[in-house]
A and B are shown apart, each in its own frame.
Chain A
Amino acid sequence: MDTHEPTRDPSLTIRSLVKAYRPGQPVLKNIDLTLAASGVTAIIGPSGTGKSTLIRCINRLVDPTSGEIWFEGENLVALSSARLRLVRRRIGMVFQEYNLVERLPVIENILTGRLGYVPFWRVWLRRFPAEDIERAFELLDAVGLGSDFATRRADQLSGGQRQRVGIARALMQQPRLLLADEPTSSLDPRTSVEIMDLLGALAEREKVPVIINIHNVELARRCAGRIIGMAQGAIVFDGAPDALDDARLATIYGGEGWLQ
């Protein structure tokens, strides 16, 4: 279905985005950002700097205070909730805590990625369309789990396995944009690398642009084609991984002592 060539067209444009949970104390201060329709973009920065808020503003899990978010010709900030739901179907999201429905089998967790499309009675009776089931199994293979895992309950999986299911669920949406909010922060270092590599490879295969919030600078360098550094609610660095030297890191994270 999604066979378009990666183009230079911007996939996502954010204009003067502000979010203040409490009036007068903005967490995001006037963010301007344009993302290409392909490639992995990593957002790095200290905790509490608004990375997560920024990513959640994009699919409006958090409602922005002001500003515009343009995605495929629509300003998401201005959408009604019904229209928003339709747009959300095209934006996949991977979470730090995986957010799987624990008591459902793996395959059903992946199939929930189609929940925006499948009518209620089909979901109720678990009669998902055959092509969806086909794709779910295909994705189960693609994330490296294999069909043996299909009927296992999600709460029987390890953290890394759960995140693989989380990725499969997001891709099940056939998203036009993939958001990942600290996808590796609950995982051990080795699994983190595996998950990031998987995410990068699948994003390329599915030709979907990815925005990742990430703590780990090394992982960001390894996987992303573009890195955005945030500090205190503003973008302080935007460039290729190579350009991210110690001096730049110091502006992002403040001070140098921690580097040694």
Chain B
Amino acid sequence: MSASARVRHADPFPPHWGGRALKLLVVVYALYAASTLDVTWSRFVSGLGNGAVFIARMFPPQTAPDKLQLLYEGTLESLQIAILATFFGVLLSLPLGFLAARNLMPRPVVWVARAFIALCRSLHPVIVAILFVKAVGFGALAGALALVVASLGFISKLFGEAIEEIDMKPVEAARAAGGSFLGVTIMAVLPQVAARFIGFASYQFDSNLRNSTMVGIVGGGGIGAPLFTAYQRFDYDFVLTILITVIALVLATEALTGRLRRLFQ
């Protein structure tokens, strides 16, 4: 510290200026960004009031038969969207994942496949749903197609990576034995990745189910449409009914797929 201090050794913890600058930068940024949010005391206070009204109007949850019918149909449709999107997404991910595996495919093919996968993953499913609503009209099909795209983006990526991690010896043995590409795939590659693939698929089903409740906001079918309509009409009691149903469904499905994953471990 001072020159008179008896320091035999260099400071073992020299100041890390780069790190300090970065931390300072993050703090300054956070303060600046927060200032753009227009957080004021009056807004906070009125927010509390609004929140109280919001919650008060939520209770008791709406249970009128016609609403429950709406809820039932919407939830069922969301479930169907998730099932179909996962099934077809997984089916199409199989070839796409192979094309994206560097240890099996030539470079250019891998690049094209990966670019396509990145494209599928980069847009939020709800945005993709907007495009499909334009292409195939309002309804469950648009939502399902949007989620097929999302599934492609995630599963083919993971699947491609899983294939890259496989043991190449059986593949080479099968190739050396004169196996066709399809034969090599079925005999040497699939057995090594099948278990993980089922894991990916079940995770994707969880994810698709969550999103299938949302694509309705832009006209993609499912429970999202009644939810958004109820919200815009201030029918907060029905909003609560829908939310409880959706959360229960999501949690139940997660528990189920979790057990499935253990079964297929």
**Which A residues lie at the B interface, using CB under 8 A?**
105, 107-108, 126, 130, 133-134, 136-137, 147, 150-151
Interface assignment of B13: CB less than 8 Å from any CB of chain A = yes
> Are A147 and B9 in contact, CB atoms less than 8 angstroms apart?
yes
Please name all residues of chain A whose beta carbon is closer than 8 Å to the beta carbon of B8 when the two chains form the complex: 134, 137
> Are B7 and A130 in contact, CB atoms less than 8 angstroms apart?
yes
> Are B12 and A133 in contact, CB atoms less than 8 angstroms apart?
yes
> Are A130 and B12 in contact, CB atoms less than 8 angstroms apart?
no
1/0 contact string of B49-91 vs chain A (CB within 8 Å): 0000000000000000000000000000000000000000000
> Are B13 and A137 in contact, CB atoms less than 8 angstroms apart?
no
Interface assignment of B5: CB less than 8 Å from any CB of chain A = yes
Q: Pick the residue among B5, B7, B9 that contacts A150 (CB under 8 A).
A: B9
Q: How far is the CB of B217 from chain A (nearest CB, A)?
A: 45
Please name all residues of chain A whose beta carbon is closer than 8 Å to the beta carbon of B1 when the two chains form the complex: 130
Report the Cα distance A191→B96, complex, angstroms: 54
Report the Cα distance A105→B13, complex, angstroms: 9
Report the Cα distance A107→B13, complex, angstroms: 9
Report the Cα distance A110→B125, complex, angstroms: 52
| Residue count of chain B within 8 Å CB distance of chain A | 7
Please name all residues of chain A whose beta carbon is closer than 8 Å to the beta carbon of B9 when the two chains form the complex: 133-134, 137, 147, 150
Interface CB pairs A-B, < 8 A, 20: A105-B12, A107-B12, A108-B12, A108-B13, A126-B13, A130-B1, A130-B5, A130-B7, A133-B9, A133-B12, A134-B8, A134-B9, A136-B12, A137-B8, A137-B9, A137-B12, A147-B9, A150-B9, A150-B12, A151-B12
* 14 other A-B residue contacts (CB within 8 Å) besides A133-B12, A150-B9: A105-B12, A107-B12, A108-B12, A108-B13, A126-B13, A130-B1, A130-B5, A130-B7, A133-B9, A134-B8, A136-B12, A137-B8, A137-B12, A150-B12
Report the Cα distance A150→B1, complex, angstroms: 19
Q: Which residues 1-47 of B have a CB within 8 angstroms of A?
A: 1, 5, 7-9, 12-13
Please name all residues of chain B whose beta carbon is closer than 8 Å to the beta carbon of A108 when the two chains form the complex: 12-13
Please name all residues of chain A whose beta carbon is closer than 8 Å to the beta carbon of B7 when the two chains form the complex: 130
Q: Which residue of B lies closest to A125 (CB)?
A: B13
